[in-house]
Amino acid sequence: MSTKQILLQMKYARIIDGIAKRQNISTEEAMDRFFHSTTFQLINQGVADLHCNSDEYLIDEFCIEWEKK
């Protein structure tokens, strides 16, 4: 696994933890929601360098996306 992939995995873990806390859900549920979100897809594809944004910003973006569902 490359350094970039490791760093992204660590970022995903922090985002998932933040989602779980903010939405008061289990880590497993947060993981499922995040990995099936448009936010994850955009980060993973490197669109607009979203991965460069803070974890808190990305958690906010995910929560906005989730509220619209």
**What is the tens place of the pLDDT at every residue in 5-34?**
999 999 999 999 999 999 999 999 999 999
Q: List helix spans (H) across the chain.
A: 3-23, 27-35, 38-45, 55-68
Every domain of the chain and the residues it spans: 3-68
Residue 69: its pLDDT value, please?
84
